[in-house]
Chain A
Amino acid sequence: MAIDTDKNSYTIIFAVIMVVVVGSLLAGFASGLKPTIKENEQREKQQNILYAMGVNNNDPDDSSVAFIQEDVEATFKEYITKQLVIQDGEVTEDDQAYLIDIKKEETKAKDPEYKRRLPLMVGEKDGKEVYVMPVRGKGLWDAIWGFVAVDKSMTITGVYFDHKGETPGLGAEIKQRYFMDDFTGESFLNGGAFKGIDVAKGNNDPNNTDTSDNEVDALAGATITGDGVTAMLRKDIKMYVPYFQSLNQ
């Protein structure tokens, strides 16, 4: 049986069958592996939150961070004492708060009727309470996000940043430890009012010895990513300010 493979009708039928076969194959794979992938993503989130808190077994010489530890779930339970959801000033406990998709919350919050849910993880490290907040913003090419851990007075105890597609060697450096470590000790407040933290060029403090200037040294060649980090921190952390005020009263 010889088929005329040059006929238009044959070509179209071939294309249709191919798309159907490939489509169902991929759909099968995607739904079959989804639970495992989702679990990995949750574990990664837990690991990142722990990293921001300063709980990590990372090699101190290694510039890369936060491999997912085998026992991350147990460690997460051990260090995170409670998880809160703040919605319109009301605080409720929710042990799945860390899974709240803040990207979706941000989209929903465009509707003025909607009261945005803010997740807040409260942990304890070395006898001190640490509050971990997720942040999300825009870099140069794509999304950037992270977790910020602060103490009661909104002084940073640790941060974790990640990105989807920043330039390797430039913007992608935000997830390097030398950049993230600079944030430790900086405060979001200045004279009691919320100021945020600027990723600043020319702050004349490359070693970041001055932790009261609300500035960290920027990365060379990554101005837009750096500005993205500044904007992300300012926008997302600001929403938690009322909670911290009530905490300190």
Chain B
Amino acid sequence: MGLLSKKDSKLILDPLADNNPITIQVLGICSALAITAQLKPSIVMAISVLFVMGVGNIVISLMRNIIPSKIRIIVQLVVVATLVIIVDQVLKAFAYELSKELSVFIGLIITNCIIMGRFEAFALGNGVWRSFLDGIGNAAGYGVILIIVGFFRELLGSGTLFGFKVLGDPVAKTGLYAIGYENNGFMVLPPMALIVVGIIIWVQRSKNKDLIEEN
């Protein structure tokens, strides 16, 4: 790769697959269950986390030599909280409906363990550019899973994507519904997100046997 060295591109690509924060490290599950009933909030959440992680990792990395180690967790929390409040305010001003929909989950980004985990494990000990790549990579790995789950849950649960009726009209019985297809109402409930994540983990581990832990 021309733009990124091999080591650097690994920082972005690893969390997308073999070291995915959700399917391998099983972090950030809470928000992955809560907001993925539809595709749109999943994407917004993914973008918000991408912003918070990217900028957060830069800030922490810049300050890594001056942060007093005694209060470093507090400093990390303050950085995340600040960024999250900024995201929340911007959404309230420019995407009001969406911010109502995501409401508490935006606040919950603060407690998303992926973010704190990357701050503590990576940004505190690495340079700015590498920290930024690491943040983007992990946020993207998180976002990809969110979007996959959101896609299936909205498609199978409501028969829509981004609110468009892609499978036909369930009331007027057009499209797939004309031949007796029914929406799976269970898909819109949180437990199905867990099952979808489980299926993704299963597929991923059966593709890549190295990921299977030995007992």
Chain A: interface secondary structure?
helix
Across the two chains, which residue of chain A brings its CB closest to B101? A64
CB distance from A199 to the nearest CB of B (A): 23
Q: Are B97 and A29 in contact (CB under 8 A)?
A: no
Q: Are B96 and A61 in contact (CB under 8 A)?
A: no
Q: Are A40 and B93 in contact (CB under 8 A)?
A: yes
Q: Mark A1-36, 1 if CB is under 8 A from B, else 0.
A: 001011000110011001100100110011001001
Chain B: interface secondary structure?
helix
Q: Are B92 and A6 in contact (CB under 8 A)?
A: no
Q: Are A61 and B169 in contact (CB under 8 A)?
A: yes
Interface size, B (range):
20 to 34
Q: Report which of A30, A36, A43, A165 forms a contact with B104, defined as CB distance below 8 A.
A: A165
Residues on the B chain within 8 Å of A36, using CB: 93-94
Q: Are A10 and B68 in contact (CB under 8 A)?
A: yes
8 A Cβ contacts from B73-131 to A = 74-75, 78, 82, 85-86, 89-90, 92-94, 96-97, 104
Q: Is the CB of A91 closer than 8 A to any CB of chain B?
A: no
Q: How far is A40 from B99 in the complex, measured between Cα atoms in Å?
A: 11
Q: Are A30 and B89 in contact (CB under 8 A)?
A: yes
Residues on the B chain within 8 Å of A244, using CB: none
Q: Report which of A14, A25, A30 forms a contact with B71, defined as CB distance below 8 A.
A: A14
Task: From known contacts A5-B68, A61-B170, infer whether A37 and B97 are also in contact, taking CB-CB under 8 Å.
Answer: no
Q: How far is A40 from B170 in the complex, measured between Cα atoms in Å?
A: 33
Residues on the B chain within 8 Å of A15, using CB: 71, 74
Residues on the A chain within 8 Å of B94, using CB: 36
Q: Report which of B82, B90, B97 forms a contact with A26, defined as CB distance below 8 A.
A: B82
Q: How far is A165 from B96 in the complex, measured between Cα atoms in Å?
A: 17
Instruction: State the 8 A-B residue pairs at the shortest beta-carbon distance, nearest first.
Output: A36-B93, A40-B96, A11-B68, A33-B93, A5-B68, A37-B92, A33-B89, A22-B82
Measured CB to CB, the residues of A under 8 A from B are 3, 5-6, 10-11, 14-15, 18-19, 22, 25-26, 29-30, 33, 36-37, 40-41, 43-44, 61, 67-68, 165, 169
Known: A3-B66, A5-B65, A22-B82; 18 extra A-B contacts, CB below 8 A, are A5-B66, A6-B70, A10-B68, A11-B68, A15-B71, A15-B74, A19-B78, A25-B82, A26-B86, A33-B89, A33-B92, A37-B93, A37-B96, A40-B92, A40-B93, A40-B96, A41-B96, A61-B170
Residue pairs across A and B with Cβ atoms less than 8 A apart, 25 shown, are: A5-B65, A5-B66, A5-B68, A5-B69, A6-B68, A6-B69, A10-B68, A11-B70, A14-B68, A22-B78, A22-B82, A26-B82, A26-B86, A29-B85, A29-B89, A30-B89, A33-B90, A33-B92, A33-B93, A37-B89, A37-B93, A40-B93, A61-B170, A61-B171, A169-B189
